[in-house]
Structures are given as C-alpha cells and as structure tokens.
Amino acid sequence: MKTVKSLLLAGIAVAITGSMFITGCGGNGKAGGSDSTDNTILGAGATFPNPLYSKMFSEYNKATNLKVNYQSIGSGGGIQQLTSKTVDFGASDAPMNAKQDSAIAVPVVHIPATAGAVVLSYNLPDMKDTLMLSPDVLADIFLGNIKKWNDAKIKAINKDAKLPDMDIQVAHRSDGSGTTNIFTTYLTKVSKGWEEKVGKGSSVNWPVGLGGKGNEGVAGSVKQTPGAIGYVELAYAIQNNMAFAKMQNKAGNFITPSIASVTAAANITIPEDAKVSLTNTDAPDGYPISGLSWIIIYKEQKYNNRTIDKVTKMLKLIQWMAHDGQQYSAALNYAPLSSNAVSVGDALLKTVTFDGKPVLQ
C-alpha cells in the first residue's frame, strides 16, 4: 500500500508529464481516471484544502484500500483537467464560472467538502503585536496605494505596534486560484476602487506584487521576504509558523481567523446548487475572508469507458469526506461543514447518474 507521500509525489509527476501520462494509460488519449484500475481515483485542483484532503485520502485508504491520487495544482488547473477528462474529479475554491461551464458543455455538480479562511500573512521580524487590517487599508495595500509599513493609515489602526519604515512587498498567486477568487471577491465587495480597477476572479491583473504558484508558493515568498504580505489558507500560515492579521469585519470587529470565526461566517443558508460566497459576512463574530471548497464531478458519469464500480467508489468517497471525513478538519484548522451544507451535498450526490440512472439511493 502506497504512502500518502508517494501518492502525492506520483501526482506531481502526473502534473509535470501530462501528455505522457495520457498516452501511457492506453495510448488512446482517454481520461486517466477511466483507464486506471477501478481502485484508483484521480483528482486535481485547489491547494487551499490540500492539507485536509491529504489526511482524508490517507485515512480512507487505510479503511477501504481505495487509492486517491490528488494533484494540488490550483483550482483553475483542476477544472481544466476535469474538462479534458484526465481526472475523475476536480477541486475548486470557486464555483465554475460561465466560461468554464461553456467549455465543459455538460452538467456538473459542486459538492461542498470543507470551509476555511484566507488569511493575510506578513513578515515583520521586529513586530511583536498582531497586525490589524481594515478593508480599505487592505485594498490600498494590494492596489499599491500604501507602500510603507509605517503609513499613517496602518498606524491609525495599530496605535501601539512597532511598525517599521520598510517597503511593503505584496505576494499573490500566479496561477488560476480559488483562493484568489475568495480574496478578490472579498476586496470587490468592500472596496469600490478595487472593484473598478481590478475586480474579482480566479486570475486577475494585479496592480503590484510578485506571483507565487499555489498557497505553498505565496507562503514561501512571504516567509523568505522581510516586509512581505500575502494571502494564504490558514493551515499553510500555521504550519509554516507565519504571523497573520486580524481583519475588521462588516460589524466593525477585528476578528482572528479560526475554526470558530469561519464556522460563524459559514452559518448561512446554502442554495440547492451549493454555489455560495461566505465573504464579508454579516455575522458579528465571523471572519470576513472565509470560503467553501468544492469537489466537482460530471453529473452523468458514463463516459470514456468508466465502470459503475469505479463511479460508485468515487461517490462513496465524496460522501465520506462530507460526513466522517469532517472529523479531521479541526486539527488542520479547517471548519467542519454545516449540517445545511452536508444536506445539500448529499442531495446533489443523489442526482449523479450512470447511463441515466442514479448511482446512490
């Protein structure tokens, strides 16, 4: 039985040698998920939930012997691979947009898998206090309007903090990213200047800063660059012993990102298609840059010589992730799904068909 590490390394190798992988799985260009054994599931996408997914897939493998090879390549890459049918499922921190829906051309379903926080991590070696940021100051930093850490607007919020006379170095994602979508959706809601000049999306034209690939790339840039600030998933900041800011929410409270504050933000009605944004929550104790992450699959699963056995195993895996798999969330700083999100996901899974017939009863 392969270890999680070997599975992840295998996934990286698949990502690097994409065309070779497709040819090597039968030479007919069919999806890797279809041509591999029925006991191996291939997925690709979001780096945001990767620490949690790695744990989930490892535990599920121990219990069932099902192997899950997940490539943490970013939400955009995961949707591209799902569209080209080189994986069994995609993973994204943003619902598919109209352009992506048009490219895939057939119905898909979005199953909520986890919820987490996008945090502002910073590298200020001599600062002992926790940085506090307001929506307008955050937008001005990423617009390039605030260039120094001792800017009067930052000092007004952090009156007792030792802020250095140091240039701000902005770090952002270079790849198509659901984390970017969550972050820019938030900025678009709270800043008219950001909405007009940049807008929201999984990829945007950044006014300033240097790009890094994946949450890992941005976290690495921030950690290695004094004066840097960047947005990463909470688990990456904690695992890398990085400082992260308190954000002022709509109620005016400065909120520390945590399981509790993300849970508060996620305590909303989930629509039937599960596509919803948690950013800029009304909850007075909610962290304002929170988001769901989804597993995305085709609604009709009979394609590219897939078997009903393989499809059933995949759907049971996703169902387990939304139920029993949630027990691993808290230790990795993700918020367990709300009961509403789980119920919506269960209903969506029951709409998935094989040759027109529901797979799960």
- Segment 306-328 mean pLDDT: 97
Three-class SS state of 254:
strand
Using CA atoms, how far apart are residues 76 and 56, in angstroms rounded to an integer?
22
pLDDT digits (tens, 9 = 90+) for 154-169: 999 999 999 999 999 9
- Segment 339-347 mean pLDDT: 95
Among candidate residues 290, 322, 346, the one where a domain is terminated: 290
Supply the DSSP symbol for 25. T
87 pLDDT exceeds 70? yes
Co-location of 229 and 283 in the same domain? yes
Co-location of 122 and 244 in the same domain? yes
- Segment 190-212 mean pLDDT: 96
Q: Which amino acid is at 97?
A: N
pLDDT digits (tens, 9 = 90+) for 324-341: 999 999 999 999 999 999
Domain range enclosing 21: 4-116+291-358
Co-location of 284 and 160 in the same domain? yes
Co-location of 217 and 315 in the same domain? no
pLDDT digits (tens, 9 = 90+) for 127-151: 888 999 999 999 999 999 999 999 9
- Segment 165-179 mean pLDDT: 94
pLDDT band for 9, please (50, 70, 90 cuts).
very low
Nearest C-alpha neighbor of 177 from the set 71, 74, 91: 74
In percent, the amount of the chain with pLDDT more than 90 equals 82
Radius of gyration for the alpha carbons in the chain, expressed in angstroms and rounded = 20
Co-location of 180 and 212 in the same domain? yes
Q: Within a 13 Å sphere around the CA of 192, how many CA atoms are in the beta-carbon half? A: 0
Co-location of 124 and 176 in the same domain? yes
Nearest C-alpha neighbor of 97 from the set 209, 222, 204, 246: 204
Three-class SS state of 232:
strand
pLDDT band for 236, please (50, 70, 90 cuts).
confident
Number of domains making up the chain: 2
User: What pLDDT is recorded for position 28?
Assistant: 31
Co-location of 191 and 326 in the same domain? no
360 pLDDT exceeds 80? yes
Co-location of 13 and 25 in the same domain? yes
Beta bridge partner(s), residue 320: none
The chain-wide mean pLDDT, for the chain, equals 90
33 pLDDT exceeds 50? no
User: What pLDDT is recorded for position 60?
Assistant: 98
User: What pLDDT is recorded for position 34?
Assistant: 38
Among candidate residues 255, 290, 325, the one where a domain is terminated: 290
Tokens 């600062």 correspond to: 127
Co-location of 149 and 188 in the same domain? yes
Co-location of 309 and 226 in the same domain? no
Co-location of 64 and 22 in the same domain? yes
The CATH number of the domain where 340 resides is what? Answer: 3.40.190.10
27 pLDDT exceeds 60? no
Looking at 174-227, which runs of residues are DSSP E strands? 210-212
Co-location of 223 and 210 in the same domain? yes
Three-class SS state of 52:
helix
Using CA atoms, how far apart are residues 182 and 177, in angstroms rounded to an integer?
9
More confident residue, 1 or 67: 67
pLDDT band for 25, please (50, 70, 90 cuts).
very low
Prediction pTM value: 0.83
CA dihedral 250, 252, 253, 255 (to 10 degrees): 40
User: What pLDDT is recorded for position 110?
Assistant: 98
19 pLDDT exceeds 70? no
